[in-house]
A and B are shown apart, each in its own frame.
Chain A
Amino acid sequence: MRNSTPPIKAPAGSVPAKAGTGLKFPHVDHILEARPHLGWFEVHAENFMIKGGRPREILHEVAATYPVSIHGVGLSLGSADGLDHTHLERLANLVTDIRPGLVSEHLAWCRSGATCFSDLLPLPYTAEALEVVSANVSRAQDRLGRQILVENPSLYVDFTISEMRETEFLNVLTERTGCGLLLDVNNIHVSGTNLGYDPAAYLRELDCGGVGEIHLAGHHVRQIENGTILIDDHGGHVAEPVWHLFEQALAKTGPVPVQIEWDNNVPTFDVLAGEVAKADSILDRCFNAEVRNVCAA
C-alpha cells in the first residue's frame, strides 16, 4: 500500500544516459572558462542551499550550460524523528530555483534530536524503519512535487535486529512510495565485502526497473586484524571490481546517467574527466548512442 499519491516523475529531457561527475570547487574556474565536453554535473545540495552568495551563482552558471542533478546528503530520510522542516524547505527552494533533472538522497540517517552528524549512518532493516523511511520519502516527494532517487548506502556495521535484506527493503520502499533508485555500485561492492554478501546476488535481488542513476567511486582498502575493510572514501580511481560490477548493473538497469564521485583528494579535472570517459566507453559498448541520448526520466 502506498503512503501517498505517486509523485510526478522528474521532468524528462534533463540528464542524459551519459557519464558525468560531481562539481568540485577547485574545478569551477576551468569549467566556466573552458566549458569541457561532459554529460552532466551533480552537486551536493547542502553546498548550495544558502540563497544568494557565490556558490549559488556558480551553480546557476553551470546549470545554464550543463544538465544538473541535485544530490542531498542531509535530509536524513532514515530519521525516526521525521524530516527537518527547515532543511526540506531549503531543499525545495534550491530545487525550484535550479530545476535539476534529477534529485536524490540516501537510505541513511544523519540527524538525531538537535544534532546533525554530517555522515550517512546505518539503519537496521526492520518493518519499523521501512515505515519511517517510506513516510519521510513520501513527505519529501510531496513537498518537492517530484520523484526522488534513493541511494543504497555503504555499510561498515550489520544489525542483529534487521528483519530483511537491503534489497528487499529498497524493493518495498520503491513500490510503496514511487521513488526511484540511485544505484551506487561502489557501495554494493564496499558493503558486500564488509558485511560478507555477494554483490552479484544483490543485483539479482534488486528490482532495478526504478534505477534512475548510477554512482561509481573509489574506495580505500584498509587492512585490519581479521582481514580487510573497505572505506567508501571517494578518494581515488574507481576500482577494477567496481568497473566489472558496473557492467553487470547496466545489464539490469539499461542506459541511465552515471556519475563519477571523487570528493576527497580531488584530482585535476583531466584525471576526473578520464574516469568519466572510461564510464562513457562502457556505456558505449553496452548501448547504442540513440538509446543513450534518451534522457533519464
Chain B
Amino acid sequence: MSALHEFQTSFGAYLTGDAAIEDCAGLSSDTVENAAIYQNNVRHAHSGALASTYPALRNLIGEDCFDAIADQFCEASPPASSVLSEYGEEFPAYLANCPELSGFPFLPEVARLEWAMNVALHSPLSPVTQASDLARLAEAESTDISDLLEPTTSLQLFMSEQPVQDILIAALANDAERISTIEHAPQRLAIFRRNEGVVVEPLTAAEFTFLTAIVLGQSFGKAADQAIAQEPAIAIENIIGRLLTLGVFAALPLTSKGLPS
C-alpha cells in the first residue's frame, strides 16, 4: 500500500469514527486537533443531505432527534456516491427498525413517501396521453388501445396502511394540531412529475389495482379484470377517464394523423 493510500485509508477510518486521529501518520501535531473540523463537515454534509430529502420527517420528529438518527444511519450506511440526492433510499427501512421510533409506525411510511417523491422529482418530464388522443383513435375505429397504454416515466405507486399523505401535508406545514386530528385510514397514491413539480394524487382501490397491473406490464384486459374484481360496480371507462385526467400514461406512439405508429 502506498503512503498516500495508507493515509487516506486511516483518515477515512477516522472520519467514520472507526479509528483515532493518532492512527493517521503524517499529520503535524500543531494542527492535528483541527482534523475534527473535517469529521464534523462529513457528518453535517450527510445528515444535511437526508434533511433535504426528508423535510416532513424532520418536522415530525424535530431537528435534534432527526440529526441523531441521521447520524446513526450515516455512520452505518455512508454514501457510496457524491450525488447526494441519491443518498438515503434505505433510510425509511432503517427508521422502521429504529427502537426509538417503534411506537410511531407512520414515521417510516412518511419517509417512504418522501423518497418516492424524490425519485419522481429526478425523473424526466415526458409527454402524456390525453383523452383527446384516445378520442381520435376511437373516431378512426382503430384497433383497441389496450396494449398501448404505458405508465409515464416518473410514476411511482404507493400504498400504505397509514394516512401518509395527510400526515405529510400537515408536517410540511408544521401543523401539529392538524396532525392530531387525522383519521387513521390506508392510502393509495400515484406520485409523478407534472410541469415543474411533483404531484401526489390519492387513488381509489380500483384505480390503484388497474394502474399497478399496467405498471407490471399486464394487458389492458387483465388490468381491467383485476380492477373490476376489486370493485365490481366500477365502470372501467371511469377509471381510464380519471387516470387520463391525472396524466399518468406516457404519450401514445401516434402518427401525425393520430393513429398508432
- The residues of A with any CB-CB pair to B shorter than 8 Å are 46-47, 49-55, 57, 73-74, 76, 79-81, 86-87, 90, 109-119, 121-124, 126, 128-129, 132, 156-161, 194-195, 229, 231
Contacts and interface: CB of A to CB of B under 8 A. Distances in A.
A60 to B, nearest CB: 12
Interface string B95-130: 000000000000000000000000001111100000
A114 B81 CA distance: 9
A47 B84 CA distance: 8
Chain B interface size range: 35 or more
Interface of B: 2-5, 7-9, 11-12, 15-16, 25-28, 30-32, 34-35, 37-38, 41-42, 45-46, 49, 78-86, 121-125, 153, 193, 196-197
A216 B196 CA distance: 32
B162 to A, nearest CB: 27
Given A117-B15, A118-B45, A119-B38, A110 B26 contact: no
A51 B46 CA distance: 22
Contact of A80 (B5, B28, B121, B193): B5
Contacts of A51: 124
Contacts of A229: 34, 37
B12 A113 contact: yes
A116 B80 contact: yes
Given A55-B122, A74-B81, A124-B4, 6 more contacts: A46-B82, A50-B85, A113-B12, A116-B78, A118-B79, A156-B34
Contacts of B28: 157-160
Contact of B49 (A118, A158, A195): A118
B34 A126 contact: no
Contacts of A157: 27-28, 31-32, 34-35, 38
A50 to B, nearest CB: 5
B8 A80 contact: yes
B37 A159 contact: no
A6 B64 CA distance: 51
Contacts of B123: 52-53
A112 B12 contact: yes
B34 A194 contact: yes
Contacts of A160: 26-28
20 contacts: A53-B121, A53-B122, A54-B193, A54-B196, A55-B85, A74-B81, A86-B81, A87-B81, A109-B8, A112-B11, A113-B9, A113-B12, A118-B79, A121-B15, A157-B31, A157-B35, A157-B38, A158-B30, A161-B25, A195-B31
Given A54-B193, A54-B197, A116 B8 contact: no
Given A50-B122, A129-B4, A156-B35, A118 B46 contact: yes
Counting from the closest, the 5 A-B pairs by CB-CB distance are A74-B82, A52-B124, A53-B122, A112-B12, A156-B34
B26 A159 contact: yes
A231 B27 contact: no
A80 B26 contact: no
B228 to A, nearest CB: 35
Contact of B122 (A52, A90, A128, A129): A52
A161 B26 contact: yes
A90 B83 contact: yes
A50 B153 contact: no
B82 A159 contact: no
Contacts of A74: 81-83
Contacts of B78: 115-117
A47 B11 contact: no
B11 to A, nearest CB: 7
Contact of A115 (B2, B16, B27, B83): B16
A54 B82 contact: no
Contacts of A81: 5, 8
B30 to A, nearest CB: 6
